[in-house]
């Protein structure tokens, strides 16, 4: 029969080691996760820019906090197949297209029912857009923010 004092000491040491192992494991997890996140940020190519949703209240335009990254070919519309899906009953399923061609950004209407606006003017044929332009789709407005 082993004396119970020895058993208790042994169990205490074991419990202590397990606590240390837990600490180590949690720290390894957090460390690897942070490192992974840092690598993702530095390794991915710089984004082209983004479309920032804005809302007009009175005379001021304000940010809604919603924004979407631009892709080389960014389709916009109500259908989930679009790169930017917008929930707006005035938007068509496939509403508009923002595309990078020959170093210029182009905005194109894809035959939408209610039309696409560029700085409050309807877009009838593909037009070149630039930083700060406001694209209107349905009841929503997006500001073009390009990366240089």
CB of residue 129 vs another protein: minimum separation in angstroms? 16
Residue 113 in the binding site for another protein (CB under 8 A): no
Query: For another protein, which is the closer residue by CB, 11 or 128?
Result: 11
Nearby residues of 146 by Cβ (< 8 Å), 6 or more positions away: 48, 49, 70, 105, 130, 131
Query: By CB under 8 A, what part of segment 39-58 binds another protein?
Result: 40, 54-55, 57
CB of residue 60 vs another protein: minimum separation in angstroms? 6
Confirm if 126 and 110 have CB atoms less than 8 A apart. no
CB of residue 46 vs another protein: minimum separation in angstroms? 13
Query: By CB under 8 A, what part of segment 66-85 binds another protein?
Result: 66-69, 71, 75, 81-84
Q: What are the b/e assignments for 16-53, b being 16+ CB within 10 Å? A: eeeeeeeeeeeeeeeeeeeeeeeeeeeeeeeebbbbbb
């Amino acid at each position: 029969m082993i004396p119970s004092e020895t058993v208790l000491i042994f169990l205490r040491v074991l419990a202590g080691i397990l606590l240390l192992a837990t600490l180590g494991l949690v720290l390894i997890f957090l460390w690897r996760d942070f490192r992974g996140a840092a690598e993702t940020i530095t390794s991915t190519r710089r984004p082209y820019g983004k479309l920032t949703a804005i809302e007009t209240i009175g005379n001021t335009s304000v940010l809604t906090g919603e924004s979407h990254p631009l892709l080389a070919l960014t389709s916009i519309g109500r259908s989930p197949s679009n790169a930017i899906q917008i929930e707006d009953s005035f938007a068509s399923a496939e509403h508009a297209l923002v595309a990078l061609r020959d170093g210029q950004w182009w905005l194109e209407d894809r035959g939408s029912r209610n039309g696409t606006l560029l700085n409050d003017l309807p877009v009838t044929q593909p037009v070149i857009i630039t930083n700060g332009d406001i694209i209107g789709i349905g009841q929503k407005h997006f500001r073009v923010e390009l990366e240089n």
